[in-house]
Structure 1
């Protein structure tokens, strides 16, 4: 069959335009894959709110005993890559609020994006740099960030009050300046969520953030009226359904208020998960790619 001139022109134009008409592919993500088959293949038991709220299957025998060579102490080797330690170092940053001890993974400046992880009570920067515990999830986070041209900071938070919030606000400003105002994500776990709550009230710090992730955090009733809420800052919560420290239902209620107000927000609930489950099970690649948009 012969093709007319008109049909040829249409075909030629389609060949040029077609790639741009396709949905964004995984290759367009800011954060590329790293061991996705081991960390991202999670079973969704329930989904609602257009996919913003999901209940994910969690099984202790599979996700701890089957994943660790020494349960809760050492993950199996195939879950980690220690090459990332080549771009890791400890620093003491001379911030306006005073010296702050951090672990840094990735380049010191010009990074494509920054992730800052805040530990909970009793922790320090070593927790967020731990390669072999927590099912290797911090090792994955470090590799995801470094391989995608980003920088990861794990600071030692000196207190979870106004002074601690001021320290992290200064670190956010430092990371933003070092990167040339590129995206900064703040992730807070457990009691570290007090820092995320404090930052949410700081309009200047919020203006430098691309989003927040709150893992097993304390519900903050003031969050829906915060500067972060007014700025429509994206927030992703992850929580265990059997969290005995901070009840999942209370955090879900905060999510609902934010969502009803039109804020971009997501929630992952790990069915039967405990307080520590989000640190082990949060799919960092999905979270970061949604927050850095």
Structure 2
């Protein structure tokens, strides 16, 4: 469905409250949400080196030889076929959303108008919608994400963000507001600037189910944001050898978020020896989405 048609639906009768939408997800309780899996054995974390008692912090074993060279046919370019399922692409297309006097090119999988939730992935510098829609790079993790989302009645969006300023955040905001379902906002690398801006947008925060920051730029302002005041779940994933954004700086943001209120729903996953791009390859999306959608 194109975004023009989507706007027409939005004005019609298909308007569901967030609580109803989340209540329709397959779960036994809000704290025990379980999504239908997709290739879970292949994409599960290969080993946990350290974990906090409450599960809020974990260090995951990462091995470049195992997790890139044995997983990919062409390292960092094409994963082995066992990691991908291409049937989901029958529901994929490139859509154009008109907002703010601009056209936002967006990779779209699923039907946002009829979805129970949505995931919007925001790429980093130098990327576009193709990064979040590529089935074979980053170990097939984006293909898994698309399959997980659509397989559980959701919609997946990967917009091209032209800039990481108010214009860029305004474009992503338009996509969040285009539907009437809870949105998981996932931002990688410099794209996390968009997440940080929207975390303080009082129109956007009520529409969000949670935020995921993958190798993101540390921003201590998140700890005092409207999203944190609303106790919005946040997941941080980072590589310990990230040479772009130091993991310790991002961990400090996580620690401040956790300290903002008792048992704040935040998690930090550190990939031991992982680089800047490791979170996009190694983040377990099933575990991440279950946590973010469980509120």
Aligned pairs for 1:80-119 (under 5 A) are 80-96=84-100, 98-119=102-123
Aligned to 2:83: 79
Aligned to 1:147: 151
**C-alpha RMSD over aligned residues:** 1.5
Matched, 1:213 2:212: yes
Contact in 2 for aligned 1:81/1:139 (Cα 8 Å): yes
1:31 is displaced (CA, Å) by: 2.7
1:42 is displaced (CA, Å) by: 2.5
Structure 1 residue runs of 4+, over 6 Å off? none
Provide structure 1 residue ranges, at least 5 long, that are not aligned to the other structure: 1-22, 177-181
1:97 is displaced (CA, Å) by: 5.2
Mark the CA change 1:76 to 1:32 in structure 2 (over 3 Å): closer, same or farther.
same
- Give the structure-1-normalised TM-score: 0.87
- Give the structure-2-normalised TM-score: 0.87
Mark the CA change 1:30 to 1:90 in structure 2 (over 3 Å): closer, same or farther.
farther
The correspondence for 1:157, drawn from 149, 155, 161, is 161
| CA displacement, residues 37-68 of structure 1 (integer Å, 9 cap, x when unaligned) | 10014211001151110000000000000100
For the pair shown, the structure with the greater C-alpha radius of gyration is 1
1:147 is displaced (CA, Å) by: 1.1
Aligned to 1:282: 283
Contact in 1 for aligned 2:117/2:183 (Cα 8 Å): yes
Provide structure 2 residue ranges, at least 5 long, that are not aligned to the other structure: 1-26
The correspondence for 1:39, drawn from 40, 43, 55, is 43
Corresponding residue SS for 1:85: helix
Q: How many angstroms apart in 1 are the aligned matches of 2:72 and 2:223?
A: 39
Matched, 1:183 2:182: yes
Aligned to 1:167: 171
Aligned to 1:236: 235
Contact in 2 for aligned 1:31/1:145 (Cα 8 Å): no
Corresponding residue SS for 1:269: strand
1:94 is displaced (CA, Å) by: 1.8
Contact in 1 for aligned 2:33/2:293 (Cα 8 Å): no
| CA displacement, residues 241-262 of structure 1 (integer Å, 9 cap, x when unaligned) | 1100000000001100110112
Corresponding residue SS for 2:184: strand
Aligned to 1:19: none
Matched, 1:125 2:138: no
Aligned to 1:267: 268
Contact in 1 for aligned 2:122/2:191 (Cα 8 Å): yes
